[in-house]
Structure 1
Amino acid sequence: MKLAKVLMSVMIPTMLFGCATGDSPETKKAHAREETQTALQEIYSEHKGAPAAVNSAVGYVVCTGSNSYLFALSTGGGICVLNEKGKLSYYRFATGGVGAGIGFKKVAFVQAFQNQDALTRFKESGYEGQAQAEASAEYEGSGEQASANQSVDVSGVKTYQVNLMGAAAQATVQGYKYWETDFSEDFIENEK
């Protein structure tokens, strides 16, 4: 029973961040576009190579969400917008991992697909695994994050990540699952 309470205390805050809010699918799509565009600008300001990687890509996905770390477990999730030369589609993601960690953070990342094979892998499998080791903390009370913001280039995918809020120290192996949505049967509803 204690484990169930601990898991729920980790998962509920995680599900509340990175939500496409609104009372209709179109409103949720608009909010997802707005949130991911804001996140992309933050990524560009932190990673000078990100704009060139995105501009040269056959497609790119921008995601925002949150991760919670509690000892040997990590969970998270959020929303993504996939842009294929102007054609937009919407995704949710969930993440889980094992390793050592404690904390909570809101994150944003972009994955720039450098070739069609990498884009097809993302769309068809929807799975990704990666190792993460990071320590993040608030910088001298300013609200700014002192974080090991990450950039990775693996198998035709350039990934740039920033920590938007929160603090965590972790060394985890994370798995990500992405699934396309049109928000018509979305499990998260928001009242006006």
Structure 2
Amino acid sequence: MVPLLASVPAQAKSKDEKRQEILEMKDEVLAKLYKSNPETKSMIKEAEGYAVFNSGGVNVILFSAGSGTGVAHDNKSGQNIYMKMATGGVGIGLGVKDYRTVMIFHKRSSFDNFVDKGWDFSGQADAAAKVSDEGGAASGADTVVSGVSVYQMTENGLALQATLQGTKYWKNGKLNKD
């Protein structure tokens, strides 16, 4: 006989629950960023907006791929825009990495372009070896380009890579509808 609980399908999370999870992730990531880079708190307050993403990636010899979710916050309107991201690339590397990305938009045009078009193509070189709070990560991706400051923090993983990455960010149609 099959137990009753085994036949009950897992309850899917509601839109509000998914939004809340993303906002909690955003708050946790920003707290870590402010602790390691205190100057970013005023940068974010004075910016046109910012975005925070929870991402994971795999690099297997010549190819890399990853995906994630996040939120872009418009400081002017106070609106949260829920987003998705996917990345792929070519280069030399090996590893798996769970990381968080914070983008601070200093120009209105940069924020609007990110939310409406969301495309980024860049080279990346980094090394990461981290499990929980142990280990460290070094990244060549912390940059300021076209009015955007980017901070990337490794949560867990082991990776060594030098890749040309293509990353696509787009609005999450389901989570932005009421």
Query: Normalising to structure 1: TM-score of the pair?
Result: 0.78
Change (3 A) 1:28 1:134: same
1:126 aligned partner = 118
1:170 aligned partner = 161
Change (3 A) 1:130 1:46: farther
1:31 aligned partner = 21
1:1-80 alignment runs, 5 A limit: 23-80=13-70
Q: Please give the secondary structure, in 1, of the residue aligned with 2:150.
A: strand
Point out the structure with the larger strand share: 2
Q: What are the superposed Cα offsets for residues 68-126 of structure 1, whole Å, 9 maximum, x if unpaired?
A: 11111110011111111221110010011111111111110111110111112102211
Moved more, 106-115 or 142-151: 142-151
Structure 2 gap segments, 5+ residues each? 1-10
| 2:108 is the alignment partner of 1:101 | no
Hey, what's the Cα distance between the residues in 2 that align with 1:143 and 1:41?
A: 15
Hey, what's the Cα distance between the residues in 2 that align with 1:114 and 1:143?
A: 31
Q: What are the superposed Cα offsets for residues 42-82 of structure 1, whole Å, 9 maximum, x if unpaired?
A: 22223333223211110101111111111111100111111
Moved more, 56-65 or 147-156: 147-156
Letter matched to residue 176 of structure 1: T
Letter matched to residue 108 of structure 2: Q
How many aligned positions are there?
163
Q: Is contact 2:116–2:170 with CA below 8 Å preserved after alignment?
A: no
Q: Is contact 1:82–1:88 with CA below 8 Å preserved after alignment?
A: yes
Q: Identity of counterpart residues, as a percentage?
A: 31
Structure 2 residue corresponding to 1:156, chosen from 147, 153, 161: 147
Hey, what's the Cα distance between the residues in 2 that align with 1:88 and 1:170?
A: 33
Moved more, 81-90 or 36-45: 36-45
Change (3 A) 1:158 1:23: same
Structure 1 gap segments, 5+ residues each? 1-20, 186-192
Q: Is contact 1:68–1:105 with CA below 8 Å preserved after alignment?
A: yes
Hey, what's the Cα distance between the residues in 2 that align with 1:46 and 1:73?
A: 31
Q: What are the superposed Cα offsets for residues 10-37 of structure 1, whole Å, 9 maximum, x if unpaired?
A: xxxxxxxxxxx95111110011111121
Hey, what's the Cα distance between the residues in 1 that align with 2:103 and 2:12?
A: 26
| Backbone CA RMSD of aligned residues | 2.1
Query: Normalising to structure 2: TM-score of the pair?
Result: 0.84
